[in-house]
Amino acid sequence: MNGRWADLQARSLSAVGMIAAGGAAIWWGGVWFSALSVLVTGLMVWELARMTAPARVAEARVSGLLAAGALVFVLYTHSPYMLAALLLPSVLGLLTPRRDRIIFALYALAVMLTGYGLVAFRDARGLEMILWIVAVVVASDIAGYFVGRIVGGPKFWPRVSPKKTWSGTVAGWFLAVVVGWAFVAMGQAGGALIALSPLVAFAGQMGDIAESAIKRRCGIKDSSNLIPGHGGVLDRFDALLGAVVVLLAVGLFLPLPQVGG
């Protein structure tokens, strides 16, 4: 197989498995979706801890368990006063020896906010909101992967992410607009969703680039080898971090469009 597509088979099979498991959890919502968010959050913080302090294996496990436990606590108490518990993995990272403590703390907080935000969006705004977020992120990623390899051209940010091209990046924005338009055309949202979709796609791309920058500083290719063809959990869901964190930030100042009923 051509070198540009060498990982396509493993990547596709893993994607099918993730879509099946994630799709079922998103559809059922409730405790199932919360459990998936807790699991993925814990794994992402574990990977981040391993990357920034590779010699401290046991400590990475503790960080992952702390992240999962803190998110369970916040979701169970369902109180805005308990949101501070989302900071616990960041605090632990600041207090222990590792590379780039501040970067770890900020990125770990983004992971925790994403785990919480996804559950909050699913509970408060319904299935369609999560489907739109995931569709925008996945569509942008697919467009970037295929258009970037087929068209090529100038690199988007070669020092940080050598494989990303402007052609793939812009294609991701375009396909995100198509996703937003599709939801509007189906009567699931107002026109504001079309304008918000490329912003979410761009935020997702920045989440991907942020993780790439951390990996380059740590001198590694993948955050782990948990997912064949994709690397680690962070490698697969880094774009979702950027998308959800930006949506949470936008929601603090502006009402987010209603998606679905």
pLDDT in tens, 211-231: 989 998 888 888 988 876 667
- Give the SS3 label for residue 56: coil
Asked if 117 contacts 86 with a C-beta cutoff of 8 angstroms, the reply is: no
Is residue 261 in some structural domain? no
Domain that holds residue 206: 3-253
Domain count, the chain: 1
For residue 168, being part of any structural domain is answered with: yes
pLDDT recorded at residue 1: 47
Q: DSSP per residue over 202-259, as a string?
A: HHHHHHHHHHHHHHHHHT-S-S-SSBTTTBSHHHHHHHHHHHHHHHHHHHHHSPPPP-
CA distance 173 to 243: 13
Query: What are the angstrom distances between the C-alpha of 48 and each of 100, 135, 138, 154?
Result: 11, 25, 22, 30
CA-based end-to-end distance of the chain: 46
Considering the domain boundaries, does residue 160 fall inside one?
A: yes
| Contact indicator for 96, 62 with CB cutoff of 8 Å | no
Q: What is the pLDDT of residues 102-129, one digit of tens each?
A: 999 999 999 999 999 999 999 999 999 9
Binning the chain into helix, strand and coil, the percentages to the nearest 5 are 75, 5, 20
For residue 52, the model assigns a pLDDT of 93
| Model confidence pTM above 0.85 | yes
Helix (H) or strand (E) holding 161: strand 161-165
Helix/strand/coil for 261: coil
pLDDT at 155: 84
Residue 258 lies in a domain: no
199 in any annotated domain? yes
On whether residue 247 sits in a domain, the answer given is: yes
Residue 159 lies in a domain: yes
- Examine the pLDDT at 136 and tell me if it is beyond 90: yes
Say which range, 17-21, 120-124, 169-173, 246-250, has the weakest mean pLDDT: 17-21
Q: What is the mean pLDDT of the chain?
A: 90
- Specify if 99 maps to a domain: yes
